[in-house]
Amino acid sequence: MLELITKSIDESRQGEAFQGDRVTNNNYSKHFYIESYGCQMNFSDSEIIASILQGEGFGVTRNVEEANLIFLNTCSIREKAEQTVRKRLTEFKKIKKQNPGLLIGVLGCMAERLKSKLLEEEKLVDLVVGPDAYRTLPSLIEEAGNGTKAVNVLLSRDETYADISPVRLNTNGINSFVSIMRGCNNMCAFCVVPFTRGRERSRDNESIVAECKDLFEEGYKEVTLLGQNVDSYYWVDSKSNHAVDFAMLLEEVAMVSPLLRVRFSTSHPKDITDKVLHTMKKYHNICKYIHLPVQSGSNRVLQLMNRTYTREWYLGRVQRIKEIMPECAISADIIAGFCTEDEQDHLETLDIMRTSAYEYSYMFAYSERPGTLAERRYTDDVPEDVKKRRLAEIVQLQNSLSLASNQNDLGKIFEVLIEGNSKKSDQQWMGRSSQYKVMVFDKSDPSLEPGSYVHVLALECSQGTLMGKIIEKP
């Protein structure tokens, strides 16, 4: 989901080990090491896993050599994501040869997709645990420790881990992610998620708001509410019989504090409502940024993809967003080379990108996934070199749209949440505007720190960054 601008996810989050030092380790004699792949929901799940494991006396470590348990929290979205994990597993096997007591576990979507097949294919894997089975990790670890291969890939209709307080990994202490639902009931023809994550279910709104309050009290300044399709969030409180939809949840979270920014991802074009847009407009701290994956600009391809909207519907939603919030940034996910896509379809994708004037996009070449509707019904008939060429054209267009959007921002003032030093200099801060744009500016005032809000005038830009200077609040 929220990744680097105009870079395909395949190139960006290729697995990240726990890096932070906010979790103290001194009290633990046993340790686990975890690497996460794929979308933000997986990263968020790793924080639930960390909480369950800490309860069992395992401290988190970033040092593989120190670990008694190595976990890979995996992604199946494209073939390349799975290949990366397999490569990583062969590296861990070498470590296991030197340390036979070490247990290696594959968690997440690849575990769910391949189930016990993974144990046959990857002989040195000891545990295979699907996304809804993390509560059983303690007994599975015990089984694996006794030499039995441990597998639990049962999907659930109601598991949301609502009562588990995540242990924040890799945190900067400012931005945090909060899962509000799990699974997906859509059946986009290309997508493996409904099979790896199961049925959609929402999490109790009270537990979500309580988690956001705790984060704010711990000093966090931004929460991103996560779900594969946040607009279909729906929870009925059993005591009051009171129904909460996504717009109402957004409002409840926004009211935690005006100093807590609220983001969310992902919105489905068929489901995003005007009520959500009006709620966004009403609260200054709900960020003016919507990730609205389009996938294709061709009605014929959209229909084959089973996205259940047309390009006209999509553009209507974009127009509505801009009418209600002219300053709102929009990003998309785009797939190049889906089954039967021809040059005309591709040109329509480029056209919808221009019309929507995306600030950012996450762009992918179609990768056929076993078991999906597309794999069963259609032929993956666009040659690899054609997919690559179309993807390159899409990326090139997005680069120019991102640059144009940044150029259009020059001379404007943005409220920025400081996240830390800029990559290039510790004399400069890096932060983000409400629109999720990266802004870099000199550290003029010593009283500022990560987590402070400042106003920044945009003066120069590249395609990925706005450079500016701090000014007094206008």
Residue window 213-232: x/- pattern of binding to ligand SF4, with contact defined by CB under 6 A: ---------------xx---
The token pair at 233 is 């969030």
**Listed residue (294, 377, 309, 374) closest to 338, CA to CA:** 374
**What residues does 226 pair with on adjacent strands?**
179, 265
Which bin fits 451, alpha (ψ -120 to 50), beta or left (φ > 0)? left
Q: Binding-site residue total for ligand SF4 (CB under 6 A)?
A: 9
Minimum CB distance to ligand SAH smaller for 177 or for 364: 364
> In angstroms, what is the minimal distance from the CB of 9 to ligand SAH?
7
Residue facing ligand F3S at closest CB distance: 38
Cα(207)–Cα(181) distance, rounded to whole angstroms?
12
Minimum CB distance to ligand SF4 smaller for 31 or for 197: 197
Cα(307)–Cα(270) distance, rounded to whole angstroms?
8
> In angstroms, what is the minimal distance from the CB of 129 to ligand F3S?
14
191 binds ligand SF4 (CB under 6 A): yes
Cα(109)–Cα(81) distance, rounded to whole angstroms?
11
Cα(323)–Cα(463) distance, rounded to whole angstroms?
25
**Residue 335's binding partner out of ligand SAH, ligand SF4, ligand F3S, none, with CB under 5 to 8 Å set by partner kind:** ligand SAH
The token pair at 357 is 């004037």
CB-CB contact of 169 with 34 (8 Å): yes
Cα(272)–Cα(67) distance, rounded to whole angstroms?
44
- Burial track 279-295 (b if 16+ CB lie within 10 A, e otherwise): bbeebebbbbbbbbbbb
Minimum CB distance to ligand F3S smaller for 181 or for 336: 181
Which residues inside 241-270 make contact with ligand SAH, applying CB under 6 A? Answer: 266, 268
**Residue 331's binding partner out of ligand SF4, ligand F3S, ligand SAH, none, with CB under 5 to 8 Å set by partner kind:** none
- Burial track 87-110 (b if 16+ CB lie within 10 A, e otherwise): ebbeebeebbeeeeebbbbbbbbb
Q: Which stretch binds ligand F3S (CB under 6 A): 50-58, 153-161, 188-196, 321-329?
A: 188-196
Residue selected from 164, 193, 277, 454 as contacting ligand F3S according to rule CB under 6 A: 193
331 binds ligand SAH (CB under 6 A): no
Q: Which stretch binds ligand SAH (CB under 6 A): 56-64, 361-369, 396-404, 405-413?
A: 361-369
Residue selected from 6, 44, 46, 76 as contacting ligand F3S according to rule CB under 6 A: 76
Please provide the DSSP assignment of 45-61 as one string.
Answer: HHHHHHHHHHHTTEEE-
Minimum CB distance to ligand SF4 smaller for 164 or for 191: 191
Residue selected from 369, 387, 390, 432 as contacting ligand SAH according to rule CB under 6 A: 369
**Listed residue (75, 116, 126, 54) closest to 96, CA to CA:** 126
188 binds ligand SF4 (CB under 6 A): yes
**Residue 41's binding partner out of ligand F3S, ligand SAH, ligand SF4, none, with CB under 5 to 8 Å set by partner kind:** ligand F3S
Cβ neighbours of residue 443 closer than 8 Å, sequence gap 6 or more: 427, 428, 429
Which residues inside 25-54 make contact with ligand F3S, applying CB under 6 A? Answer: 38-39, 41-42
Which residues here bind ligand SF4, judged by CB under 6 A?
184, 186, 188, 191, 193-194, 228-229, 268
Which residues here bind ligand SAH, judged by CB under 6 A?
77-78, 190-191, 193, 228-229, 266, 268, 293, 295, 333, 335, 364, 366-367, 369
Which residues here bind ligand F3S, judged by CB under 6 A?
38-39, 41-42, 75-77, 108-109, 192-193, 196-197
